[in-house]
């Protein structure tokens, strides 16, 4: 596959999306995202929200405002990709077929892979333009949240990867479908399967896949734990003690003065064991169905463990679901385990679906469709 052929097909496709109107729409979208990010930032800023007057409380509120602003703009940028890109990509090949332009391309020296690859490249560049329009709205939130260049680049890289996978998937669907309108409908349906349908099937499996978990150890071992661990012990010493005595099922919450990471002596909170067995949904059995959800992927890459945003809640929820039997059975306490990385699996599933559809499209363009059309 030569680069010249890809560039030729991509250039022909991009001509359809050039002009003043697309640039004006991008500029308006960029301005809207800046306004939304600024409003969220202003609403959550400590000067408006009335945060703690201490230096630490002010800094935490300022960081939270930046995290909320960055998350809001990132979610809107993701939504724009999933709303705009499937329709444009699915119509690329059917439009050429209906206009009589596809047959000359197939009759030229261009290979079917170059046609599909060039159109995918062009639509991916359109997706990157949408991300570029979102970049100005992300900058203030990243500055206030203290996100480094690496975290911001990882977020944009993930969104770019999703855009490429969606472009491959929808261009392939358009090549496999006769009729522009039908191709667009099927493309949105395919995207909805990964974003909505599979996670809904996963959630629906909770009542069906359940397991009885016995109560944890008795009070005597809890008393032993309290007596054996020094109140001034650090998190590493506590973890070593729990591992050595096989007490990893207990909720030990080391805090400083009860205020997160504030300076002061260590305080250890040990939960009261549940008195009876509990039924736990095996949410990890079909966890792969939820992995392609773009919000889960975004939360895994962007959200920090301290984020009090929608993405932070999604991250914690996925962490609980990934290890349901690791929940500590305590009265009124559900410690959140460390989340398993979902974004490599989810992104790989998107590329698997997009790459497989693109390969089928290449094969279809190499032979006539029913009725003699190509």
pLDDT of residue 194: 92
Q: Is the pLDDT of residue 206 over 70?
A: yes
> What does the pLDDT read at residue 101?
83
Name the least confident of 15-24, 37-46, 61-70, 237-246: 237-246
Is the confidence at residue 161, as pLDDT, over 80?
A: yes
- Model confidence pLDDT, tens digit, residues 239-250: 666 666 655 444
Q: Of 359 and 365, which is predicted with more confidence? A: 359
Q: From CA 261, how far away is CA 247, in angstroms rounded?
A: 24
Check whether 88 has a pLDDT greater than 70: yes
- pLDDT value, residue 120: 94
Pairing of β 266-270 and β 210-213: unpaired
The pLDDT value given to residue 124: 95
The arithmetic mean of pLDDT across residues 335-358, rounded, is 81
- Whether the per-residue pLDDT at 231 is higher than 50: the answer is no
How far, in Å, CA of 369 to CA of 88, rounded?
A: 22
Mean pLDDT rounded to a whole number for the chain: 77
Reported in sequence order, the residue ranges of the chain that DSSP labels E, i.e. its strands, are 210-213, 252-256, 266-270, 278-281
| Inter-residue contact 91 to 183 (CB < 8 Å) | yes
Long-range contacts of 14-22 (CB under 8 A, 24+ apart): 14/122, 14/125, 14/126, 16/95, 17/88, 17/122, 17/126
pLDDT digits (tens, 9 = 90+) for 33-46: 999 998 888 876 65
> Given a cut of 90, is residue 47 above it in pLDDT?
no
Confidence at 226, pLDDT banded by 50, 70, 90: very low
Average pLDDT of span 327-340: 50
Residue 60: predicted pLDDT: 67
What residue spans define the domains of the chain?
Answer: 3-204+341-372, 219-273
| CA atoms of 331 and 328, how far apart (whole Å) | 9
Q: What is the pLDDT of residue 333?
A: 46
Report the candidate in 323, 232, 223 with the shortest Cα–Cα distance to residue 270: 223
pLDDT (0 to 100) of residue 316: 78
Q: Calculate mean pLDDT across residues 146-169.
A: 91
Structure tokens at 218: 């008795």
Judge residue 255's burial from the number of C-beta atoms within 10 Å of its C-beta, 0-12 exposed, 13-18 middle, 19 or more buried.
Answer: middle
């Amino acid at each position: 596959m030569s680069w010249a052929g890809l560039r030729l097909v991509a250039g022909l496709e991009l001509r359809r999306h050039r002009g003043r109107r697309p640039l004006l729409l991008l500029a308006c979208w960029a301005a809207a995202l800046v306004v939304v990010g600024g409003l969220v930032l202003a609403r959550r800023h400590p000067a408006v929200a009335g945060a703690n007057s201490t230096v630490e409380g002010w800094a935490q509120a300022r960081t939270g405002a930046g995290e909320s602003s960055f998350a809001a703009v990132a979610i809107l940028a993701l939504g724009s990709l999933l709303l705009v890109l499937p329709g444009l990509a699915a119509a690329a090949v059917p439009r050429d077929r209906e206009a009589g332009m596809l047959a000359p391309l197939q009759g030229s020296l261009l290979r079917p892979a170059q046609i599909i690859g060039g159109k995918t490249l062009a639509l991916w560049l359109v997706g990157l333009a949408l991300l570029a329009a979102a970049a100005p709205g992300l900058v203030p939130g990243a500055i206030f949240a203290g996100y480094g260049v690496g975290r911001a680049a990882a977020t944009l890289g993930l969104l770019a990867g999703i855009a490429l996978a969606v472009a491959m998937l929808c261009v392939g669907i358009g090549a496999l479908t006769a009729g522009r309108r039908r191709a667009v409908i099927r493309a949105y349906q395919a995207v909805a399967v990964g974003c909505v349908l599979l996670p809904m099937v996963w959630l629906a499996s909770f009542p069906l896949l359940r397991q009885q978990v016995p109560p944890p150890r008795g009070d005597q071992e809890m008393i032993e734990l309290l007596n054996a661990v020094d109140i001034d012990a650090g998190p590493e010493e506590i973890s070593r003690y729990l591992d050595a005595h096989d007490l990893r099922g207990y909720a030990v919450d080391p805090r400083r003065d009860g205020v997160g990471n504030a300076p002061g002596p260590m305080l250890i909170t040990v939960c009261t064991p549940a008195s009876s067995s509990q039924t736990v949904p095996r949410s990890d059995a079909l966890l792969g169905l939820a992995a392609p959800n773009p919000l889960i992927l975004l939360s895994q890459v962007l959200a920090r463990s301290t984020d009090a945003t929608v993405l932070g809640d999604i991250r914690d929820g996925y962490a609980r679901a990934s290890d349901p039997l690791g929940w500590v059975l305590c009265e009124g306490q559900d410690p959140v385990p460390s989340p398993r990385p979902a974004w490599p699996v989810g992104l790989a599933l998107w590329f698997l679906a997009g790459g497989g559809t693109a390969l089928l499209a290449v094969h279809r363009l190499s032979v006539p469709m029913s009725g003699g059309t190509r």
